[in-house]
Each structure stands twice: as C-alpha cells, then as structure tokens.
Amino acid sequence: MKNILIVFFVIVIAFTSNVFSQFGQPHCGSQLDFEEMQRTDSARYRRFMDYEHLLQTQLLNSRSIPSGVITIPVVVHIVYNTNAPQENISSTQIDAQIQVLNEDFRRLNADAVKTPLGFRYVAADTEFEFKLATVDPNGNATTGITRTATSVNGFSQNNDVKFTSSGGHDTWDAQRYLNIWVCNLIDPVYPLTNILGYSTFPQDLATNPNLDGVVIKYTCFGVGGHTLSPYNKGRSTTHEVGHWLDLRHLWGDPPFVYNISCAYDDGVADTPPQYEPTYGCSVYPKKDPCTQMIYTGIMFMNYMDYTDDACKNLFTQGQKNRMRALFDDQNGLRRNMLGHCLTGPFWVNFANETVTSDSTVKSCGNIDVEDVSVTNNAKLKLEAPGKVTINHNFSVPVGSTLEIK
C-alpha cells in the first residue's frame, strides 16, 4: 500500500509540475509537437526515426556537405491586429533580429566569453548566415518583409498564421526561403501560458511545405521596441531557427516531459544528457539526475534550452554538424535551398567605370550599364537573371570581350 501511495504521489507531482509549466513557465511549441507525435502519430515518428538513423550513419561516414558559409534567404511576415499597432514591429527591430541570428550562429555574440570553460572547447561557429531576401518568389524586388493587417486577435499553434485565407500570410516557397511569421502567439487552451514560438522540423518539409518555417511571438522577436524581458535579446528566434535546422531540445523531448530514464537525448554527442528544461539563469556547474557523474553538469546556456535570453550563449560542434547535414547534396532535407540568387542586390547600376582586367558584375535582378569602357584585352561578364540594359558611352575595343549571362 505504501508503495502504491508513493507511486501515486510521484504521478501527482509530475502531472502538477507539468501543468505549472504550462501555466507559469515560458515554453516552445515544438516541444509539445514532438511529445505529441510520439504519443499519437506513429507513422510520422517513424519517418523522423528513419531520417535520424540515416543522419547518424552519414555523420560517421563520408559526406558531401558544402564547406564555408551557407547563406539562408529569409522572409519575415509581420501579421498584426488592426487594433494593436504595437504588433506591427519596425524594420529596425527586424534588422536587429537578423543581426542577432548572424552573431549567434557565427559565434560573434558578445557574451560568447560567458560560456563556461568546461564547454568552451565544443562551442562552434556554425557558419550559417541569414539575409533578408531581395528577390520575391515572382522574381521582383522585395525588402524581405511582408506586412499583413488582420482581424485575428491572437494565433495559436494551429498554423492559421501561415495562410492568407485564415488571416495570416501564405508561405513563400519553403524550398528556397526560411519563412518567419511574427504575430501575437497565444495558447487558447491555457491562456496564461507564455508560448514564445514554435518551428517545423525539416522532416516535414516534403509532406507539408506550406507549413514550413518559424513562428515567433512579437514580444520576443528582435531587440528593442515592444520586446519583453527576459526574452528581449532575440534568442527565442535563435532557438526556433535551431529547430528549423533539425536541432532538438537538450533533454530529448520524451513523450511525457521528463527524461526519467536519461535515455532520451538530442542526437548530439557533445551536449550532456539532461532531465528537464532549465528556466531563468542558472549557476555553472548545474547538475541534475542525468548528470550526477559529469563534472560540467548540464549545458543550460545552450541556445536549445529554455534559459533566459541573457544567459544563453552557444551552439556546439555536434549541433553544427547536425544542422549542416541538412545541406548534404545527396540526401540533405534542405539541399534545394542552395544556389538561388535571392539575397544579392536586386539592381546594380554599373556606371562610370574603366574595366582593365577580367571582371564580373552580378545581380539577383537587373543590371544597368552606363558610361563604361573595357580596355586592355579585358573580359567583362554581366550576370543577372533579369534585364541587362546597356546605355550610352559603352565601348569595347577589339581584343576585349563582353559576356552577358
């Protein structure tokens, strides 16, 4: 009887703290999605596990992943209620978010020095960069920002924000762009829940391309404006883009929140196992039931935990390898994103130049050439998917070449 009572109390405590976390603590919707998938959608979960097996094999063997910086074209869809102008956040705040993404993913964040020594050796420059698109899906110039006024007061995790027909904005081709929707994100079942954002995983791109992308609550997107402490340093977006690039939570998202057996993990070898999410700002080293024998304790300052923005500061080498495997040219789930001209200048005005050695002028849209001389047997190449217009005073003497692509 006594044992039965103890089991009963453990269940009650586990359930209660889950409900408390639903009410009081901030969280990421991708956790609920991943937990629920394991409980209710075995076919989808099998698809995730099949890719996981392939990925782990691929990480051990030879890969064909591009070296150097991978640039991700981004479109930010601002969806704001007509009666809530604060939701229509400024372009300055959007630029600040893009800058945070670039600093965090390139490990150029000023607080990188706060990574504890025990983890500093695994901290990584992931070599991802993010740029607002300059070319839209129709080939026209864009700021990479869409703005939609809506009568919807708040969007839940049901993806209505991703469709114009339900008061949001349609997805731009997810094979070519990272879509980020910024809106008033709410949980209609638990209205006091502080849901900061959620992301799709790349394993769902082929089956649900119109849902692919990241949704962020407007109070934690970017820096300044109407952002609210302690999620006012843009790290919620860093976290969600981490999911979009196939990263998991450090505690492995078991079906019922807690990693009781410590057997669940994030598929990354250089992050310690972890029992549960971490909130606030912890003190290093922090040990939990899964890290009693590990001197560093858990990696609560990793971007994929729930720690406050001010106390997160790293991705690891293992996370970097996992993210970049998405761009393997054989079976990377996001490999089709590479090679499109979407973030360069849309219009190049090439004027008043004398070209004396082989040169290339590139644009993702149009090129206007005016008052240019090509001399000294040089070759001038003009590359643009759009119009190339050659105006007056353009000279190419014998021996020099003009090549238009």
> Contact positions toward Zn ion, by CB under 5 A?
28, 30
Count Cβ atoms below 10 Å from residue 382 Cβ, excluding itself: 19
**Nearest approach, Cβ of residue 205 and Zn ion (Å):** 18
**Nearest approach, Cβ of residue 305 and Zn ion (Å):** 9
**Nearest approach, Cβ of residue 141 and Zn ion (Å):** 34
Looking only at the bridges linking them, the beta strands covering 214-217 and 194-199 are: antiparallel
240 catalytic? Reply is yes
Three-class secondary structure of residue 2 per DSSP: helix
Whether residue 201 contacts residue 246, with contact meaning beta carbons closer than 8 Å, is answered with: yes
Whether residue 371 contacts residue 393, with contact meaning beta carbons closer than 8 Å, is answered with: yes
Q: How far is CA 162 from the centre of its chain?
A: 16
Nearer residue to Zn ion within complex by CB, 75 or 215: 215
**Nearest approach, Cβ of residue 250 and Zn ion (Å):** 10
Q: Which of 149, 147, 178, 181 is nearest to 162 (CA)?
A: 181
Of the listed 35, 87, 103, 240, which one is catalytic?
A: 240
Nearer residue to Zn ion within complex by CB, 182 or 384: 182
Contacts of 226 (CB under 8 A, 6+ apart): 86, 89, 218, 219
37-48 burial string, b = 16+ CB within 10 Å, else e? bbeeeeeebebb
What span, in angstroms and rounded, lies between the C-alpha atoms of 316 and 285?
17
Whether residue 278 contacts residue 305, with contact meaning beta carbons closer than 8 Å, is answered with: yes
Nearer residue to Zn ion within complex by CB, 144 or 252: 252
Nearer residue to Zn ion within complex by CB, 29 or 167: 29
**Nearest approach, Cβ of residue 244 and Zn ion (Å):** 10
**Nearest approach, Cβ of residue 153 and Zn ion (Å):** 24
At CA 47, angle to CA 44 and CA 52, rounded to 5?
130
Token output for 289: 């039931």
Q: Which segments within 151-200 are labelled E, that is strand?
A: 178-183, 194-199
Nearer residue to Zn ion within complex by CB, 215 or 372: 215
Nearer residue to Zn ion within complex by CB, 233 or 335: 233
Nearer residue to Zn ion within complex by CB, 83 or 158: 158
What span, in angstroms and rounded, lies between the C-alpha atoms of 32 and 37?
8
Three-class secondary structure of residue 43 per DSSP: helix
Radius of gyration of the chain from Cα atoms?
24
What span, in angstroms and rounded, lies between the C-alpha atoms of 190 and 1?
35
Residue number with the smallest Cβ distance to Zn ion: 28
**Nearest approach, Cβ of residue 39 and Zn ion (Å):** 18
As annotated, the active-site residues are: 240
